[in-house]
A and B are shown apart, each in its own frame.
Chain A
Amino acid sequence: MDGLIPPLLNGTAQGALLLLAALGLSLTFGQMGVINMAHGEFLMAGAFIAYLTQQVISSSDLSIPVALPLAFLGAGLLGLLVEVSIIQWMYRRPLDTLLVTVGVSLILQQAALQIFPAQGVPVEKPGWLDGQLAVLGYDWPLRQVFTLVLAALCVAALAGWLKYSSFGRRIRATVQNRDLAETSGVPTRSIDRITFFVGSGLAGVAGVAASLIGGTNSQMGTQYIIPAFLVVVAGGIGQIKGTIIAAWVVGVAMAYFADWTTGSLAQVLAFVLVVVFLQFRPQGLFTVRTRGLT
Chain B
Amino acid sequence: MLITSRGRVKTLLATGALAATTALILSGCGARAGDTVETTAPAAASCIDTTGDTIKLGFLNSLTGGMAISEKTVSNVLHMAADEINADGGILGKQIEYVQEDGATDWPTFAEKTEKLLTQDCVAAIFGGWTSSSRKAVKPVVEENNGLFFYPVQYEGLEASPNIYYTGATTNQQILPAMDFLASEGVKTLFLAGSDYVFPRTANAIIKLYAAELGIEIVGEEYVPLDKDDWTTQVAKIAEAKPDFVFNTINGSSNVGFIKAYYDAGLTPETTPIISVSIAEEEAPAMGHEVTGNYASWNYFQSLDTPDNATFIDAWKAYPGSSGVTSDPMEAAYISMYLYKALVEKAGSFEVDDVNAAAAEGGVTFDAPEGTVTLDGENHHISKPGHIGKINAENQFDIVWSSDGVIEPDPYLEEYDWFPADVRDALVTSAG
Which A residues lie at the B interface, using CB under 8 A?
1, 6-7, 10-11, 13-14, 17, 29, 33, 35, 37, 94-95, 98, 102, 106, 110, 113, 117-125, 129, 131-132, 138-139, 141-144, 210-220, 222-223, 225-226, 229-230, 232-233, 237, 255, 258-259, 262-264, 267, 278, 282-284, 287, 289-294
* Residues in chain B near residue A287, CB distance under 8 A: 4, 9
Given contacts A118-B69, A120-B69, A267-B228, contact A98 B253 (CB under 8 A): no
* Residues in chain B near residue A255, CB distance under 8 A: 233
The answer to whether A263 and B66 have CB atoms under 8 Å apart is: no
The answer to whether A290 and B253 have CB atoms under 8 Å apart is: no
The answer to whether B12 and A120 have CB atoms under 8 Å apart is: no
A222 and B73 alpha carbons, distance in the complex (Å)? 23
* Residues in chain B near residue A264, CB distance under 8 A: 196, 223-225
The answer to whether A217 and B72 have CB atoms under 8 Å apart is: no
Majority SS of interface residues in chain B?
helix
Judged by a CB distance under 8 angstroms, whether B323 is at the interface is yes
* Residues in chain B near residue A113, CB distance under 8 A: 64, 68-69
Given A35, A120, A263, which contacts B224 in the complex, CB threshold below 8 Å?
A263
Per the 8 Å Cβ criterion, residues 337-358 of B in contact with A are none
Given B7, B26, B237, B256, which contacts A215 in the complex, CB threshold below 8 Å?
B256
The answer to whether A263 and B253 have CB atoms under 8 Å apart is: no
The answer to whether B23 and A290 have CB atoms under 8 Å apart is: no
* Residues in chain A near residue B230, CB distance under 8 A: 14, 17, 213-214
A132 and B224 alpha carbons, distance in the complex (Å)? 23
A267 and B240 alpha carbons, distance in the complex (Å)? 23
Task: Apart from A213-B229, A214-B260, list 16 A-B contacts with CB within 8 A.
Answer: A14-B232, A35-B19, A37-B23, A102-B26, A120-B286, A141-B264, A141-B265, A211-B288, A213-B261, A215-B229, A226-B20, A226-B24, A258-B233, A263-B224, A264-B223, A290-B8
Q: How far is the CB of A217 from chain B (nearest CB, A)?
A: 5
A262 and B192 alpha carbons, distance in the complex (Å)? 12
A17 and B73 alpha carbons, distance in the complex (Å)? 32
* Residues in chain B near residue A144, CB distance under 8 A: 232, 264
The answer to whether A293 and B240 have CB atoms under 8 Å apart is: no
Q: How far is the CB of B70 from chain A (nearest CB, A)?
A: 8
Residue of A nearest to B8 (CB): A294
A215 and B6 alpha carbons, distance in the complex (Å)? 41
Residue of A nearest to B264 (CB): A141
Judged by a CB distance under 8 angstroms, whether B15 is at the interface is yes
| Contacts A/B (CB < 8 Å), 27 sampled | A13-B232, A98-B18, A98-B19, A113-B64, A122-B286, A124-B288, A139-B239, A144-B232, A213-B232, A213-B257, A214-B260, A215-B254, A225-B23, A226-B20, A226-B23, A232-B16, A237-B12, A255-B233, A258-B233, A263-B222, A263-B228, A263-B233, A264-B223, A278-B13, A284-B13, A289-B2, A292-B5
* Residues in chain B near residue A95, CB distance under 8 A: 15, 18
Judged by a CB distance under 8 angstroms, whether B145 is at the interface is no
